[in-house]
């Protein structure tokens, strides 16, 4: 990364000039070392921003195994043309550099769990210029259902925590929801959608009718009770569930609720059924 190079340049240069000043007793060398030392401090303080700028200019590439995993696991990715796939892959590769994965009760997270969260976020924000969901930078993952300070009496499978900028998941539930969407609700995507909604309160969200749960059940076969039981919380954002259905079951969604499909497509600047259509990014807010 760029900061490592800058550390080496500024650090070595500062030490060299300080040494020369000491060896020759020439104060000019000491003065020459000062801006290099300042550069070292600035690099340390600004390292996340510097590295992110570098990664954007020189995006990392996905390895072959990850591309193969995307091909097998995400229909949306497969529907894209070459340019769209390249954009998706670049965002997938950049995502871990801007987020902290935090395993709970285990030493480390399987790579596939990290990929599911990254792919869900990139899928949701594919039509947006900003795809990072900042300041939600902490991605906390438990092996299975968990209790939390906000919900100490409810074993649940996912949660958003705005105060800490955290999205919290059960690995078991998010894997089932991502890989078997016809049987299980996608909690990885659900929490990403909840974060996006909170970050974009002024967008034109469609009005959901009183029969929205019946409509969603026709699209996915999930009944309201099934979603509540799967997540495990006393209240669930119906808008988030609706957007998840739009993204996971676009063809069926358009068939059952064509007007709502159009509204969500405009909201997210994304038509999941059109594959490699040109996308004009819209600003957040």
Full DSSP string of 19-61:
HHHHHHT-HHHHHHHHHHHHHHHHHHHTHHHHHHHHHHHS---
Structure tokens at 96: 């871990």
**b/e 113-130 (16+ beta carbons within 10 angstroms → b):** bbbbbbbbbbbbbbbbee
Structure tokens at 231: 């997540």
pLDDT beyond 80 at 107:
yes
Structure tokens at 131: 């795809």
Can you give the pLDDT at residue 131? 83
Residue identified by tokens 């996905």 is: 62
For the chain, what is the mean pLDDT?
Answer: 86
Long-range CB contacts (within 8 A, 24+) of 53-58: 53/2, 54/1, 54/2, 55/1, 55/94, 55/97, 56/94
Q: What is the dihedral of CA 225, 229, 234, 235, to 10 degrees?
A: -60
Give the span between the Cα atoms of 173 and 171, in whole angstroms.
6
Greater model confidence, 6 or 169: 169
Helix (H, G, I), strand (E, B) or coil at 77: helix
Can you give the pLDDT at residue 219? 97
Q: Give the pLDDT mean for 187-205.
A: 96
Nearest one of 241, 284, 280 to 264, comparing CA atoms? 241
pLDDT beyond 80 at 20:
no
Can you give the pLDDT at residue 43? 62
24-28, 36-40, 240-244: lowest mean pLDDT where? 36-40
Burial class (CB in 10 A: 0-12, 13-18, 19+), 248: buried
Can you give the pLDDT at residue 19? 60
Can you give the pLDDT at residue 22? 63
pLDDT beyond 60 at 1:
no
For residue 284, what pLDDT band results from cuts at 50, 70 and 90? very low
pLDDT beyond 60 at 204:
yes
Q: Phi and psi for 89 in degrees, rounded to 5?
A: -65, -40
Q: Which residues pair with 146 in a beta bridge?
A: 156
pLDDT beyond 50 at 278:
no
For residue 103, what pLDDT band results from cuts at 50, 70 and 90? very high
Q: What percent of the chain lies above the pLDDT cut of 70?
A: 78
32-41, 48-57, 143-152, 182-191: lowest mean pLDDT where? 48-57
Which secondary-structure segment (H or E) carries 265?
helix 258-268
Give the span between the Cα atoms of 28 and 17, in whole angstroms.
9
pLDDT beyond 50 at 280:
no
């Amino acid at each position: 990364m760029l900061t490592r190079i800058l550390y080496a340049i500024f650090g070595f240069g500062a030490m060299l000039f300080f040494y020369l000043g000491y060896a020759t007793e020439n104060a000019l060398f000491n003065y020459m070392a000062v801006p290099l030392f300042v550069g070292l401090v600035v690099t340390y303080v600004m390292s996340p921003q510097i590295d992110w700028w570098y990664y954007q200019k020189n995006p990392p590439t996905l390895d072959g195994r990850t591309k193969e995993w995307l091909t097998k696991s995400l229909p949306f990715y497969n529907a894209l043309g070459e340019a769209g796939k390249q954009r998706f892959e670049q965002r997938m590769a950049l995502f871990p550099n801007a987020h902290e994965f935090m395993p709970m009760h285990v030493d480390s997270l399987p790579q596939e769990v990290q990929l599911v969260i990254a792919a869900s976020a990139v899928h949701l924000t594919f039509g947006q210029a900003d795809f990072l969901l900042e300041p939600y930078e902490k991605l906390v993952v438990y092996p299975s259902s968990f209790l939390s300070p906000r919900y100490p009496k409810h074993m649940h499978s996912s949660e958003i925590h705005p105060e800490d900028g955290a999205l919290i998941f059960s690995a078991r539930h998010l894997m089932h929801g991502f890989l078997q969407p016809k049987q299980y609700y996608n909690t990885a995507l659900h929490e990403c959608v909840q974060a996006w909604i909170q970050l974009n309160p002024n967008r034109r969200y469609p009005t959901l009718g009183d029969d929205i749960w019946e409509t969603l059940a026709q699209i996915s076969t999930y009944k309201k009770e099934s979603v509540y039981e799967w997540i495990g919380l006393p209240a669930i954002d119906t808008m988030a569930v609706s957007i998840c259905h739009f993204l996971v079951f676009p063809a069926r969604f358009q068939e059952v609720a064509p007007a709502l499909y159009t509204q969500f497509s405009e909201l997210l600047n994304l038509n999941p059924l059109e594959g490699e259509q040109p996308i004009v990014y819209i600003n957040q807010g």
